[in-house]
Structure 1
């Protein structure tokens, strides 16, 4: 019998070591659970980092992908398909996009951000503003916007003209909006920084400042989009219309796909034929998956479900009144449990031993981004276990 240890040894000899050694080898999944090759079951409270929106082995997603494989998988960007057109239309409807808005499909969130950077540079002003704590991807363009020094420094010099400002500080943004700036790129909730929400009114003020300055407002919805926060997109909660958004992660339910959505004809017209492209972006297989995800979210009321069970979960964690828990951040089913001591990595390891997958996104923050189909009862099993896991992390 092949074990986790056997396979991880082979992994170390075959895979480039950019991820270190994985924690386990996942063999299969069903609903909100996965099993490793040793047969141990885990409640997946991370969903592939906010990717597996419908959990694992969902019949609608499996059926849609299987059907598409039997028809056509790839056609190149010389042609289009029903699935590609249908998914673009569904995304525009979900975002409430005005007439003249458009979608460009990619294969990942990073590729979506690269497209957004090219869109911004088409304004004729090369400067970009991003936030401290931001994570926008690891390709060289997206990395220039990403703030973490450990990610950036080995690859500098990066794309010039990027200014990082404090997140949630409108005055700092106003001071940074020079005539050279073409776009401001922000996450509506900073995921990799520890599930950090901006102060009330911040996104509205960013929209006012960028509009007054004639600067694009680009919202990175890669982690927060597709129902993760209880709305299709997190920017909706602010009542604003950005100039563009980037999408990925949950859109394909695990099948790689991303998108750049531009709002209105003026912004959509910045990228003309021949200015950008991709071989695999918008392929019929990925678009069929995206259609199945969006249709299932709508049919099963998963937006409302995410908002409700996410808030119930946050209330239950706060009600534990555990000395190591200082609060719960986030919205919907994107949550960060903040701790009073930097024990998140150890707590996550204890959780995995107990059959729960969570992410120590910061030394003092446990991030949860479970499938949107997760039930309150399933979340309760983790809440009930959490005090013991935290106690074990400090013993």
Structure 2
């Protein structure tokens, strides 16, 4: 094994694991051990917009959304109800290679368990994150887009522990699948996605007892994975990467800006079918303004409407970014404008109901994401990163690192070539074996 190289890499994405969770999580038995034996940062900067599928694609490609092409969880589907929208589920929608594409030429095996945007990939053992919509069958959809025999085996063994998409059952199922895969398949690269914490924040707010309970469950699952590596006899040659993809911010108002565009005739009904010249695609704390091609009048009208809404303040718009400004955030090239929400506000596509909808005060506080990675006065919005195991320095603290650094660091850990993207390998976390450190 060469300098900085491990034979096995376990990548565990804890969705929504952010800086504000560090104090509690870092004191729990399993994560604290990885921290003590590894390198860590509480200043992992995400990409814009901070949505799960956008960020996870950056994690495995090492490039920003303007290059990899996954700009939202969902492709643009105007007027389609959220529950019926398709997502960016398939690998062929990513415009650049992913880390798992490079393993075959090195004769290495990969596994993916509910990792976003991995339908129909080159992953050897693949249970993709994919959902049936409309009249589709969930089981058949997974089998068609994942590794059929592998998925059937996992369902037979552990399907009874899952209750649809409800937590904590889904992440318990994911962990059981990962443990079995580690022990039976010994993949050189395992990618797994855990969602319990993200769900807790969305439903109960960032400071709730439910969030603290989810973090405790997270640590227990991490312990199960560490134990599986030990039982597989590969501990000495295994590296763990544990990281979050975004933080969340508590929200009190949902803003439905398409209603403003409809009032001005930019969204309208024609021949009993809804049409649009300008349309807002909500992304939680951000939103895309889509414009009909070559419709300069619609662009002028939409920008004027949104600038007026900014002046009125009550609509919760912090800023309307134009294409030149979006360049610095590496946002999707085809979109000319994006909206950023103020703290406490989020954007939705829906045309039904009031433009400004207050959250139900009788229910738990809710939270969301999508905002700029550098949201002012929201230090807790940064993500957490821990690398621990084979050839990683012990108790080594990193400063600010970028989400685009994750893929090249994975490649460096496994000792494989990867195309030159926007990030860099975090060489400083690796022991220099040749120098004896």
- Normalised TM-score (structure 2): 0.23
Higher relative contact order (CA 8 A, sep 6+): 2
Tell me which structure has the larger Cα radius of gyration: 2
